[in-house]
Amino acid sequence: MDTGQVTISLETSGRIGSAAIAAGGSLLEQRNFSAPMSHSREFLPVIKTLLDKHGVAPKDVNEVYISVGPGSFTGLRIAVTFAKIMYLANSKIRIAAVSTLDAIAQNVIEHAKNAALPDRFGCILDAKRGQFFTAVYQKSKTSESAVDGYEKIYGDTLMWAGEFVGRFAKSDNPVWLLGEGLVYYRDKFKCEGVRFFDESLWAPSASNICIIGRKLAAQGKYADPLTLVPAYIRKPELGKSKLQGEQVK
């Protein structure tokens, strides 16, 4: 079949991974992995299923879009390695590297189109050690912003919950929050001046990676496959013995 431009999008930064296929600028299908944190086991079979179902051979893939973080260190490495392997197999493939926080933010646009959108909202991911990866978005008419109608005014940044609340929670202009960092730590952000989106909007998805990746591609913002690395923001955890005496900054 004549598929036109074919893209594979992969989201492995969050708890539930997913992959998506698009052709000719249209999303054909997204498939979620069957269980939390099963990325390494499922991403290749899911991608193969998508390609086979839609009659696409791996050589027909033109672009690969991935979430590069912040997020699960193992998950981010999976996505980056996949993108590099695809490039090594076909040097014509181009890669777009999407911020996980932008992918979560896209949920506000995709699933709240019939609701009044807030002036500001923030995305929260658990960074461990009591800290969080955060980004804050504000309504804007900037045409090149990753999330339609919003400019990222702060992020991707490592913060304490109290630091975030002190900086952005305002009773006269509440900041709305979403993101998987709230699953276990929502109470840390509860205060006057903070509101929460429905939990159904908290996770990133491959379809959102596709949407934002397509925008980056349209602007010519491709990643260099040879130097592409995950956006950890903070280095992965060291062994326990190496952490002894370490001061968290």
DSSP strand pairing (150-160 vs 194-196): unpaired
Q: Distance between CA 156 and CA 13 in Å, rounded? A: 14
- 3-class secondary structure, 140: coil
What confidence tens digit (pLDDT) does each residue in 120-141 have? 999 999 999 999 999 999 998 7
What is the DSSP track for 26-53? Answer: EEEEEEE-SSTT-HHHHHHHHHHHHHHH
**Sequence letter at residue 137:** Y
Residues 6+ away with beta carbon under 8 Å from 183: 15, 126, 199, 202
Give the bridge partners for 22, in sequence order.
7, 27
The position carrying tokens 């699960």 is 72
Structural domains in the chain, sorted by start: 6-100+204-241 (3.30.420.40), 113-201 (3.30.420.40)
- 3-class secondary structure, 205: coil
What confidence tens digit (pLDDT) does each residue in 188-203 have? 999 999 999 999 999 9
Given a cut of 50, is residue 7 above it in pLDDT?
A: yes
Nearest to 102 by CA among 199, 24, 18, 216: 216
Run of H or E including 249: none
Please state which of the ranges 100-109, 115-124, 192-201 shows the lowest mean pLDDT: 115-124
- Predicted TM-score of the model (pTM): 0.90
